[in-house]
Amino acid sequence: MDYRRFRLPEFTAIHRRDYWLAAFAGILLALSFPKPGFSILAWCALVPLMLACGNKSPQKAFKLGFVTGLVAYAGILYWINIVVTTYGKLPWIVSLSVFMLLVAYLAFYLGALAWLVRRGEEAGIAPLLSFPVLWVGLEYLRSFLLTGFPWASLGHSQYRTLPLIQIADITGVYGLSFLIALANIVLYLIIRAVVKKEPEAYPTRGLIVLLLLLVLVLFYGSSQLSSSEDGKPLKVALVQGNIDQEIKWDPAFQEATVAAYERLSREACAAGVDLLVWPESAAPFFFQSDAKFAPRIRALARAVNCPMVVGSPAYERECDTVRYYNSAFLLSPSGEILGRSDKIHLVPFGEYVPLSQLFPFVHKMVTGIGDFSAGAKPLPLNTGKGQIGVLICFEGIFPDLAREYVREGSRLLVNITNDAWFGRSSAPYQHLSMIAFRAVENRVPVVRAANTGITAIIDSKGHIRAMTTIFKETFLTGEVRLGEGGTFYGRFGDIFAWLCLAGCAVIGIRIYRHKSRKA
């Protein structure tokens, strides 16, 4: 085969071929996440981008990286248009503007990555070293900058590859992102050496390091998977009411909603369970003061004779001020309120409007209730058979919150959510893929009750033992073993990501000094 026709671009203008390569990288990256979730593609998705950048200037590399990011995140987050137009009631033109603004923001990170790698090469920093460090550092920065959006980190694409994801109890998802980024750059360097016919340019050391890391990660993962779960067994019942978002907050449908959940709960608990879980805002009224439906839910807890988690809005009065919360109530088997967990990390424009005084014409998408306030801190709820930490919807994608709950004594994480917003898109599957990592990071099981799905039971090794289909009225029952917690990641958090972020700073200093010397 004549490899010369695949010659790398020279230090010239950006050709149309380079833009196509960058776009192709974005397509491969998008396809590696659910759905369709071809996870193997993540290990080579970034190679076309690096081939396109070749010997380009840092400025041209930024443009190509930006193109890759635009295509990738447009493919991953297309469902935002469903949310904004269907439930935000905004015109398509406005929806597309908001969508492209978010996609451009996320694409900027990929553009910055390509720019820094090329700048680093000019400063004598091998891409084999800079690429994986910069990838993780920027990915981690994205997880907390501007309230944070750690959606679809590179490592999340591997959520079904159980031997690989066990490393998350040490490094979080970022260790896996580092490994995938390293594999991409090694493959790129191999292709470059073949194309240029320079055997001495083969990344021999890099390949050895990659293979060694893969062996170590797989060995560690296999040992973790072969260990037994010794925690106390807990039978759970998760109810999926499948209530249409269009009628969810309509008082006229409250009776039908409560009746559906009552019927499903009685069926789910017929054989006896230790915990019954309803989804986020399953009770679309103020449970703490409702006189019509709250007594029925309390009576249901007595009838099924088990603790019960109910998603419902809550409020607190402070003088003349009323604060609203997106909450989960824990009921005892006698129907009494044992505790309440308030959502801490709210969804911008979904549950509150940032800078609302400057944008009075912008409204949030959850109607019927004023802007929600954030909960003060993670508060585990005691079921009598173990403490649980409740992650409400969007909170499930933030590892620091799950870690705090476990650190405070939670031995089971409960994710209640309402993914009806996403319609029949890939978003519910993407959401689930990130939740699986919370189990591995903390070595505690996660049970998930979703209004329209996906409802799931995940063990402490990230294995999804059972799950429902979307938009189906159903329930899920199963047994989990309460976790132990106390993992390295649980104790020290994102120390690996912080080290990579520090590495980014070192690379930046090296680039700056090189530029100063040239000047």
- Catalytic-role residue among 280, 351, 395, 404: 280
Dist. CA 219–CA 183, nearest whole Å: 18
* Residue 275: φ, ψ to 5°: -155, 130
pTM: 0.92
**Burial (0-12, 13-18, 19+ Cβ within 10 Å), 379:** middle
Report how far residue 147's alpha carbon sits from residue 304's, in angstroms, rounded to the nearest whole number: 40
The predicted pLDDT at position 361 comes to 46
Cα Dmax for the chain:
79
> Which of these is catalytic: 56, 63, 248, 343?
343
Q: What share of the chain is helix, strand, coil (3-state, %, to 5)?
A: 50, 15, 35
CA distance 226 to 204: 33
Cβ atoms of residues 76 and 33 within 8 Å: yes
Catalytic residue check, 139: no
Task: List Cα–Cα distances, 49 to 45, 64, 166, in angstroms.
Answer: 8, 7, 29
Q: What is the structure's pLDDT at 19?
A: 95
**Buried/exposed 60-86: b ≥16 CB within 10 Å, e otherwise:** bbbbbbbbbbbbbbbbbbebbbbbbbb
Domains of the chain (ranges; CATH) run: 11-227+494-518 (no CATH), 233-483 (3.60.110.10)
Query: DSSP code of 355?
Result: T
Q: Is position 60 annotated as part of the catalytic site?
A: no
- Contact assessment for residue 481 and residue 227, using Cβ atoms and an 8 Å cutoff: no
From 53, 269, 306, 393, the catalytic residue: 393
Active site residue 343: yes
Strands (E), 278-383: 308-318, 321-331, 337-342, 381-382
Q: What are the C-alpha distances in Å from 19 to residues 100, 183, 344, 371? A: 19, 23, 41, 43
Q: What is the pLDDT along the chain (519 residues), one digit of tens a residue?
A: 454 454 544 445 688 999 999 999 999 999 999 989 999 999 999 999 999 998 899 999 999 999 999 999 999 999 999 888 887 777 888 888 889 999 999 999 999 999 999 999 999 999 999 999 999 999 999 999 988 899 999 999 999 999 999 999 999 999 999 999 999 999 999 999 998 877 777 899 999 999 999 999 999 999 999 998 889 999 999 999 999 988 888 889 999 999 999 999 999 999 999 999 999 999 999 999 999 999 999 999 999 999 999 999 999 988 888 899 999 999 999 999 999 999 998 887 666 555 555 455 455 555 545 578 888 889 999 999 999 999 999 899 999 999 999 999 999 999 999 998 898 999 999 999 999 999 999 999 999 999 998 999 999 999 999 999 999 999 999 999 999 899 999 999 999 999 999 999 999 999 999 888 877
Q: How far is 140 from 498, CA to CA, in rounded Å?
A: 8
Dihedral sign, Cα of residue 82, residue 312, residue 449, residue 390: positive
